[in-house]
Structures are given as C-alpha cells and as structure tokens.
Amino acid sequence: MNQACLGEVEPGVEFCNNIMERKKLEMTEEEQSLIESFCNDTQGEDYEHSTRIIEQLWYAVPLITLSENQAMSGGKSYTYLFTVESAYPLMRCGHSVELSTRFNHPEMTDFTGRRFDETFSKTMRRMWVQFAKTGNPSLTTDISPDGKDHEWPLYDTESKQLMVFEEFNIHPEKESDRKLVDWDRTYFLSKYYCCIDMK
C-alpha cells in the first residue's frame, strides 16, 4: 500500500523536496526564482507545494512538450487529462490511479480505494481500442458504451485541446482552461525532465 494512501505525508514530501533541490542545482538563478514563485502561489496544504512542482516536472510539462513537438512536426497528437480521484484523500488523482480502469481490473483498489464507474471505464477503454484500430480515438454514439458522441480533437499549438476524463463527463477542453502547465514559470522544466532520479 502506498504511504500517501495511508496518510503518511512526510516521506513523500521529503522525496519531492530532495528531487527539486538536486534539480535546482542545474538551474539558473532566474529559473530557481520562477520555481519558488510557482510553489509559493500553490494553494492548499503544505505538502501540495512540493507535489505540484514534481507534477510539473515529471508529468504535465513532459506531456505537453511531447504534444507540442508532435504537432509542430506535422504529426498527430491526441492528448488527455485523467481527473478521476481516488477515495484516498491524499492520493487524489495521482500516478497509477487510472491503471485499474485502463486494464479492466476494477478489483485493483490499492490506489483507487474504490471502483470507478463501470460505464466510464468501458468508454475510456473503447477509445484506446478505437485509436489502435483507426488511429483516431473518437467515438460515435453507436459504438460508445455511454451512448454519447465523443469527438476527440487533435492537439495543436494554437487551441491546445485535451480530452478530459472526468468520471461522469468525458469532454474536450482547452489546456488554458485547465492550466495544466504554467507556461511562464514551469514550461522550461522540459529541459530538466527526469522520470526517476534516485541519486
């Protein structure tokens, strides 16, 4: 069981802080100031200051950078944001929460703490299958498990559209509405991206 799920915040905060302290050594003073500003503006509990910047470093910035580069090179990119939250308050919508849905194992509740809506889960998986079959994850009402049309827009560098996977509302939305990335203060982190750094 994940320590964060059980409510043990300190080990996770220490882990995040150690990673960012090492990353800051690679940054310019201006970049360090931007990170500090971003963390200071983060709302919520104290631990969220540490975890939000790691979210930017490991997940949000690399995802959007990949989508941006794919679009700029003339390729296709279908970008999404999974927002369904775990029953564990500290886990929220953390890494691995979507795995039980993606791989059709609703009984795997170590990270979710609950079963997600079955129709939502089927619809999301159908989009993955549709993408594998056709190269486009969009669904028409006749093949969509929830009976709704889901037109998944291509990501482009102007409108920056994402497909948002809310448990009871799968819909497209602009990245600017979600503010997934802080373009002024964290997008530069793409050059410092690391998946895991245990030094």
Q: Give domain limits for the chain.
A: 10-192
pLDDT tens for 22-59 read 889 999 999 999 999 998 898 887 778 788 888 899 88
pTM: 0.86
Distance (Å, whole) CA 188 – CA 190: 5
Domain 10-192 has CATH 3.40.50.1820: yes
What average pLDDT score do residues 112-135 get? 97
Do 113 and 91 contact (CB within 8 A), yes or no? Answer: yes
pLDDT tens for 65-105 read 999 999 999 999 999 999 999 998 878 888 889 999 999 99
